[in-house]
Amino acid sequence: MLPALAPIEDLEARLGLDPDALIGSEKSRAQAALDDASALVREETRQDWVDPVTGEVTAPAPLVRVVLGAALRTYRNPDAEISQTLGPFARTLKAAEVGVYLTPPELAIVRRYRKEASGLWTQGTTRGEHWDSTLYAEDQFGCELFPIGTVDKPWL
């Protein structure tokens, strides 16, 4: 599995916590949020952002900030609930985006680093039609073509 694009210590700092303050299940939840946000960014950019020799993360600072923002949003509100209060009335709704997601401004940042699709591939040019191995010939009078053999046995 690829490492998260942002360290958990940076997420702790954004949460206002001391380094290594998250422990146990809270640390696991924070790491999962970072991993999920990193996977989204990798999918959008079509890049791993990991040095193949050293294994170190090579993501630029704007992408790290996006990962931290998405992970922080998910960590603080894992169920994506929205609460609204008006006087004595209150209601709680679930947002359409459940789990880790990127906001439109974050997507704009991430897409600046998107690698264009490239590579070599084979493109099929048939639709699976039946291939007829019969050989046909025409005459000088303009009649319909007539069979003269097959590819395996010409000139029957």
Q: Note the pLDDT of residue 137.
A: 83
Q: What is the Rg, in whole angstroms, of the alpha carbon atoms belonging to the chain?
A: 30
Using alpha carbons, select from 10, 74, 73, 4 the residue that is nearest to residue 34.
Answer: 4
Q: Report the predicted TM-score, pTM, of the whole model to 2 decimal places.
A: 0.68
Q: What confidence tens digit (pLDDT) does each residue in 116-154 have?
A: 877 777 777 767 676 778 888 888 887 788 788 887 776
Beta strands in 24-138 (DSSP E): 81-86, 89-94, 134-137
Q: Cα 58 vs. chain centroid, distance in angstroms? A: 18
Tens digit of pLDDT at every position of the chain (156 positions): 899 999 999 999 999 999 999 999 999 999 999 999 999 999 999 999 999 999 999 999 999 999 999 999 999 987 777 777 888 887 776 666 567 889 999 999 999 999 887 777 777 776 767 677 888 888 888 778 878 888 777 665
What b/e string do you get for 112-135 counting C-beta neighbours within 10 Å, with b at 16 or more? ebeeeeeeeeeeeeeeeeeeeeee
Give the Cα separation of 4 and 37 in Å (integer). Answer: 8
Q: What are the residue boundaries of the structural domains of the chain, listed by start?
A: 8-111
Phi, psi of 25 (to 5 degrees): -65, -30
